[in-house]
Amino acid sequence: DVKVTQSSRYLVKRTGEKVFLECVQDMDHENMFWYRQDPGLGLRLIYFSYDVKMKEKGDIPEGYSVSREKKERFSLILESASTNQTSMYLCASQGLGTFSSGANVLTFGAGSRLTVL
C-alpha cells in the first residue's frame, strides 16, 4: 500500500514564525499535493507538484510556498505564520497511468494540525 507520512501531527507556533510541514511518500508517485482542510470549506488546494523541482499554485497559495527537491518529499512552508493559517494540512500523492491502474486516486497522509497563536 502507498504510504504518505506527515512528520508532524500537531504543531503550535507563534505569529511570524517560519513553519515547515514535511511529507514523504514511498511509492515513487509523480504528483504530490498540499491541501488545507477547514470545517464547511472542504479540502482546498494550496500547491501541487508534478515532478521534482516543479510546482504549481493551487487555489489558495497566498502565504505559502513549497519545495520538492526529491521525488518522495514535498514540503509546505509558511514563511511568516499568521493566525488565519491555523488549520489542518493534508498532503497527498498520486501516481500516473491508466484509470484501471489507479490513476487519479489520491493517497492522503494523516494530516498536520497547525495552531498559530
Q: Where do contacts with other proteins occur on this chain (CB under 8 A)?
A: 4, 31, 33, 35, 40-45, 48, 50, 56, 58, 90, 92, 94, 96, 99, 103-106, 108-111
Alpha-carbon span 68 to 55, nearest angstrom: 8
3-class secondary structure per residue, 44-91: EEEEEEEECCEEEECCCCCCCEEEEEECCEEEEEECCCCHHHCEEEEE
Nearer to other proteins by Cβ, of 58 and 61: the residue is: 58
Nearer to other proteins by Cβ, of 103 and 117: the residue is: 103
| 108 within 8 A of 91, measured Cβ to Cβ | yes
Shortest Cβ distance from residue 14 to other proteins (Å)? Answer: 25
Shortest Cβ distance from residue 20 to other proteins (Å)? Answer: 19
